[in-house]
Amino acid sequence: MTITRRTTLGLVGAALAAPAVHAQAPTEITFNYPIAVGGPIPRLIDGYCEEFARENPGFRIRPVYAGSYQDTLTKTLTAIRGGDAPQLACLLSTDMFTLIDEDAVLAWDDQPGVERAWLDGFFPGFLENSRTAGKTWGIPFQRSTIVLYWNKELFREAGLNPDVAPANWAEQLSHAQKLTKRQGDNTSQWGIQIPSSGFPYWLFQGLTTQNNVRLMNQEGNRVFYSDPKVAEALKYWADLSNVHRVQPPGIVEWGTTPRDFFERKVAMMWTTTGNLTNVRRTAQFPFGVGMLPAGVQLGSPTGGGNLYVFKSANAAQREGAVRFARFLTTPERAAHWGIETGYVAVTPQAWDTGAMRAYVADFPAAAVARDQLPHAVAELSTHDNQRVTKALNDNLQAALLGRKQPQAAMNDAQQEADRLLRRFR
């Protein structure tokens, strides 16, 4: 057939009259994310989301940076109640019971594409705060333990071995006494800081675990605040300030403790391994990282955030959430995340990657938190978790301020927690 100008115009006109065919837009998944410690977190998460989109063009992850863990939980729950819930979020592992009670989240076991081998592949210590009633509700991702940091220069000045951390409570106190510099009532350098704001219950759990006592049961409906071993741990902590005067009096701030360490105002500090990269990049002096000193045993709670998938997600968004969770926890990416942030890479396989092996060989301190995991326990988590934890925090601070004796403070915390938890038994 000969195509004339008229025929060509006719074909063009027909094409213009036909409805346009568009490529299907990618499924968007809103991902609420907390920014709780220093470091390049937003840049890393943005990069992971962009990389995921390139590998999975049918999905787009939209990160929403919502502030602290507490801010992120509050904003997430508010959005759920307002009908504008995210489909995915990184929230504290301890928020598990709260999210279940709010009927907000789905078990990962029940999602298509999820294999038991993947769920069982995380360190057991991190799964303690991720499972209940035979289901997995959180995928470990931004996880941590508490570790001890010390200034090696200040150790050397005090006549202490700069390469060896205090091994137990007695040595920790003795070191702190030698490291405290005071003229009259003026203290220019404190021996130790264990923060008592922000997450006081979490730091306290280091002490209770070392004193061989757990704060709650696995079902999250009972606490053991009034156990004499709990009060004994609290007395040790309070005495650091109120009796031995090796820790600042009053409430020691979570957020300023690393800065005090960098400015040589404190020689030893307890804080999250999630601050490891920040400390490495900021400290202008050689520093050490070690397991927390033992009481009757070694111990630390685990901490940090898990990934949760929400009931607001439709079938396509659930598929995307599973793909993204698996993407974030591949050995190579988990290793990269741990190296860049200081959080603990969440699977044994991540520690076997070439990148992680090389990193640990160059910076052995990176392996301390992993090596502490066999001595770690689940972070305090119960039903009505915020109020049950607040009962403990308020009474911890009352004891640290000298307003209550340790056992009386823990008895009061127990009474309030029992009132709150009674309906869950």
CATH code of the domain covering residue 133: 3.40.190.10
130 and 93 together in one domain: yes
Q: Which of 81-85, 309-313, 377-381 is the least confident region?
A: 81-85
| pLDDT above 80: residue 22 | no
22 inside domain: no
Name every residue whose Cβ is closer than 8 Å to that of residue 145 and which is 6 or more positions away in sequence. 272, 273, 300, 301, 302, 303, 344, 369, 372, 373, 376
Q: Mean of the pLDDT values across residues 360-380?
A: 96
68 with 130, same domain: the answer is yes
Please check the confidence at residue 424 and state whether its pLDDT lies above 60.
Answer: yes
Q: Is residue 12 part of a domain?
A: no
User: Quick one: 181 and 274 in the same domain?
Assistant: yes
pLDDT band at residue 310, thresholds of 50, 70 and 90? Answer: very high
Backbone phi and psi for residue 168, each to the nearest 5 degrees, phi listed first:
-150, 180
Q: Is residue 4 part of a domain?
A: no
Residue 5 lies in a domain: no
Residue 34: closest CA among 54, 5, 63: 63
Instruction: Examine the pLDDT at 16 and tell me if it is beyond 50.
Output: no
Residue 136: closest CA among 148, 122, 150, 156: 122
The answer to whether residues 99 and 308 touch, using CB atoms and an 8 Å cutoff, is yes
Asked, for residue 226, whether it belongs to a domain, the answer is: yes
> What does DSSP assign to residue 4?
-
Q: With 50 as the cut, is the pLDDT of residue 190 above it? A: yes
Q: Identify whether 14 is part of a domain.
A: no
Predicted pLDDT of residue 40: 78
Domain count, the chain: 2
Residues 260 and 338 in one domain: no
Residue 374 within a domain: no
Token reading at 207: 């002490």
**Position 23 pLDDT exceeds 80:** no
Tell me which of 344, 369, 394 is where a domain ends: 369
Instruction: Output the pLDDT for position 122.
Output: 98
Q: Are residues 400 and 308 in the same domain?
A: no
Inter-residue long-range contacts of 81-85, CB under 8 Å, 24+ positions, other chains counted = 85/310, 85/311, 85/312
Q: pLDDT at position 55, please?
A: 97
**Contact between 281 and 214 (Cβ < 8 Å):** no
Beta-sheet pairing, 105-106 with 300-310: antiparallel
Range of the domain at 41: 27-144+303-369
- Please give the full DSSP string across 55-92, using - where no structure is assigned: H-TTEEEEEEE-SSHHHHHHHHHHHHHTT---SEEEEE
How far, in Å, CA of 95 to CA of 307, rounded?
Answer: 11
Co-location of 210 and 236 in the same domain: yes
Mean pLDDT on 151-158:
98
Mean of the per-residue pLDDT values of the chain: 93
The amino acid sitting at 114 is V
What is the SS3 assignment for 129-172? CCEECCEECCEEEEEEEEEEEEEHHHHHHCCCCCCCCCCEHHHH
Each residue's pLDDT tens digit, 24-83 = 799 999 999 998 554 578 999 999 999 999 999 999 999 999 888 989 999 999 999 998
pLDDT of the residue at 313? 97
Residues 391 and 245 in one domain: yes
Q: Answer yes or no: is pLDDT of 159 > 70.
A: yes
Find the mean pLDDT for residues 290-310: 97
**pLDDT value at residue 24:** 79
List C-alpha distances in Å: 255 to 36, 195, 320: 9, 9, 35
Regarding whether 124 and 72 lie in a shared domain, the answer is yes
Do 83 and 178 lie in a common domain? no
What is the tens place of the pLDDT at every residue in 87-131? 999 999 999 999 999 999 999 999 999 999 999 999 999 999 999
Residues 259 and 392 in one domain: yes
Task: Give a yes or no: residue 198 inside a domain.
Answer: yes
